[in-house]
């Protein structure tokens, strides 16, 4: 009996998300009754604020269950445009906004709209796990540049300049960073922007964690670094991290009108629109600012406290060194001194101590761990105790 034809090259070559796989394994172990401390989750441990849920429920009950305009319902696109004007002075029209089924999807639209087969996209490492796969699915080539803890996990203008070739089309820049929590300053971003303008590169500015920045620092919108920068910048953000709405799948993309139009047309052929009634929940998040700000403040305060505590505890463990992240809800400790591949380190840690962490190699950075502190204080405390014991055993 003959076999069916082989699957496409895209299906055969794409890699599954390692972060989702590890998180799913940890959740399955917990569901089976095992006492697992998981640092693997990439989502807030807070519930979506009640007023946002109520707005979506009201929309559902009032019949907002049909197709919506592909780029999003008009009131939400207008509210997003207003948010950028108020927060950054970035004056855009609703026509420059696309609401998508998640920030991941927004990033993919940006790559599809800018990259041709044969083009190169510069991806600073450590990187979010999906960037390289998105570039490859567009037929382009990801070009990795190493930005380790010696440089604060940040790309410098000199390193960027050296990586650019005649094939370079796009720079993917993520601040605050997943997985490291690194946050670029305005001066650092401006220096990178100068290089991008000089070489006529597009920039995918992934600003999903823009409202989770600590130590009194303020977010910087990359597109606002100059008129020439704005022409080339596609800004991605969303509702998942700021409002703890990861399962709602609502991302945003802001770009010059021709790029936004292209992204909307791509979306129209792949997913149509983001869930209609969910968009009304997002609209409430932007319109009911006092309630939203209170929810963000509570969540951010907890993350900040955990960040400082976990950073101090990790640096007490012999053989572990860890920079203090400036944003998001991750730390990225260096565990290279133990002489194990980070994937082996994580596998043994889960097997022996029931602690789930994501190896740095999943993010293009061998010798590190990504630890999420978007979890309870009890799990953090128990997890650190177990990690300390595990590391002590490796040193014997």
**32 vs 158, more confident:** 158
d(CA 105, CA 210): 18
188 and 303 co-located in one domain: no
209 and 250 co-located in one domain: yes
44 and 187 co-located in one domain: no
297 and 237 co-located in one domain: no
Show which of 243, 262, 288 is a domain's final residue: 288
How many domains are there within the chain? Answer: 2
- Give a yes or no: residue 61 inside a domain: yes
Strands 37-38 and 355-356: parallel
- Give a yes or no: residue 2 inside a domain: no
d(CA 278, CA 260): 21
**Can you give the pLDDT at residue 17?**
78
Asked whether the bond before 65 is cis by omega within 30 degrees of 0, the reply is no
- Give a yes or no: residue 360 inside a domain: yes
**Can you give the pLDDT at residue 385?**
98
Q: How confident is the model at residue 312 (pLDDT cuts 50, 70, 90)?
A: very high
- Give a yes or no: residue 128 inside a domain: yes
256 and 273 co-located in one domain: yes
Which domain covers residue 329, as residue numbers? 9-48+291-395
**Mean per-residue pLDDT for 165-176?**
99
**Can you give the pLDDT at residue 389?**
98
- Give a yes or no: residue 264 inside a domain: yes
**Helix/strand number for the chain, H first, E second:** 14, 12
235 and 331 co-located in one domain: no
CA–centroid distance for 42 within its chain:
8
225 and 317 co-located in one domain: no
Show which of 264, 288, 312 is a domain's final residue: 288
The H or E element containing residue 102 is none
Q: CA angle, 7 as apex, 361 and 119 as ends, to 5°?
A: 55
**Can you give the pLDDT at residue 21?**
79
Q: How confident is the model at residue 247 (pLDDT cuts 50, 70, 90)?
A: very high
Question: Where in the chain does DSSP place strands (E)?
Answer: 37-38, 97-100, 120-125, 141-146, 168-174, 202-206, 233-238, 251-254, 330-331, 355-356, 358-359, 369-372
Give just the sign of the alpha carbon dihedral 291, 292, 294, 299.
positive
Whole-number mean pLDDT of the chain? 96
| DSSP annotation string for 311-352 | HHHHTTSTT-B-----BTTEE--B-GGG-S-HHHHHHHHHHH
d(CA 56, CA 282): 8
Q: Is the pLDDT of residue 210 over 70?
A: yes
- For residue range 232-243, list pLDDT tens digits in order: 999 999 999 999
Show which of 263, 288, 313 is a domain's final residue: 288
Q: How confident is the model at residue 396 (pLDDT cuts 50, 70, 90)?
A: low
Cβ neighbors of 253 (< 8 A, separation 6 or more) are: 97, 98, 100, 106, 109, 110, 234, 235, 236, 260, 263
- Give a yes or no: residue 159 inside a domain: yes
- Give a yes or no: residue 1 inside a domain: no
Phi first, then psi: what are they for 6, rounded to 5°?
-65, 155
- Give a yes or no: residue 3 inside a domain: no
Identify the CATH number of the domain in which residue 327 sits: 3.90.1150.10
**Can you give the pLDDT at residue 359?**
96
Q: Are 320 and 335 in contact, with CB atoms under 8 Å apart?
A: yes
216 and 334 co-located in one domain: no
**Can you give the pLDDT at residue 186?**
98
- For residue range 257-295, list pLDDT tens digits in order: 999 999 999 999 999 999 999 999 999 999 999 999 999
**Can you give the pLDDT at residue 249?**
97
297 and 280 co-located in one domain: no
146 and 174 co-located in one domain: yes
Identify the CATH number of the domain in which residue 182 sits: 3.40.640.10
- For residue range 88-142, list pLDDT tens digits in order: 999 999 999 999 999 999 999 999 999 999 999 999 999 999 999 999 999 999 9
């Amino acid at each position: 009996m003959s076999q069916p034809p082989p699957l496409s090259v895209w299906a055969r070559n794409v890699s599954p998300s390692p972060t989702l796989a590890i998180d799913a394994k940890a959740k399955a172990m917990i569901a089976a009754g095992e006492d697992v401390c998981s640092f693997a989750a990439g989502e807030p441990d807070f519930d979506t604020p009640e007023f946002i849920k109520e707005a979506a429920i009201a929309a559902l009950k009032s019949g907002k269950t049909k197709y919506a305009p592909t780029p999003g319902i008009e009131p939400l696109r207008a509210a997003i445009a207003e948010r950028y004007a108020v927060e950054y002075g970035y004056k855009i029209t609703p026509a420059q906004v696309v609401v998508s089924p998640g920030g991941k999807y927004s990033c993919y639209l940006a790559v599809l709209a800018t990259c041709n087969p044969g083009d190169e996209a510069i991806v600073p490492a450590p990187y979010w796990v999906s960037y390289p796969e998105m570039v490859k699915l567009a037929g382009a080539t990801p070009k990795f540049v190493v930005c380790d803890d010696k440089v604060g996990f940040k790309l410098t203008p000199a390193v960027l300049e050296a990586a650019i070739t005649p094939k370079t089309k796009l720079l993917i820049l993520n601040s605050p960073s997943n997985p490291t929590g690194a946050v670029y300053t305005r001066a650092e971003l401006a220096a990178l922007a100068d290089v991008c303008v000089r070489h006529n590169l597009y920039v995918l500015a992934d600003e999903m964690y823009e409202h989770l920045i600590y130590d009194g620092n303020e977010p910087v919108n990359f597109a606002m670094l100059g008129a020439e920068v704005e022409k080339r910048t596609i800004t991605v953000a969303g509702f998942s991290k700021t409002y703890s709405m990861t399962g709602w799948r609502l991302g945003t993309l802001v770009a010059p009108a021709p790029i936004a139009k292209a992204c909307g047309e791509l979306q129209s052929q792949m997913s149509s629109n983001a869930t209609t009634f969910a968009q009304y929940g997002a609209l409430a998040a932007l319109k009911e600012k006092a309630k939203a700000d209170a929810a963000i403040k509570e969540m951010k305060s907890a993350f900040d406290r955990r960040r400082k505590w976990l950073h101090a505890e990790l640096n007490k463990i012999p053989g572990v060194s860890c920079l203090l992240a400036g944003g998001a809800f991750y730390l990225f400790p260096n565990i290279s001194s133990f002489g194990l591949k980070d994937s082996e380190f994580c596998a043994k840690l889960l097997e022996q101590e029931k602690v789930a962490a994501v190896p740095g190699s999943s993010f293009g950075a061998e010798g590190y761990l990504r630890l999420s502190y978007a979890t309870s204080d009890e799990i953090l405390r128990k997890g650190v105790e177990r990690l300390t014991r595990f590391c002590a055993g490796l040193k014997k």
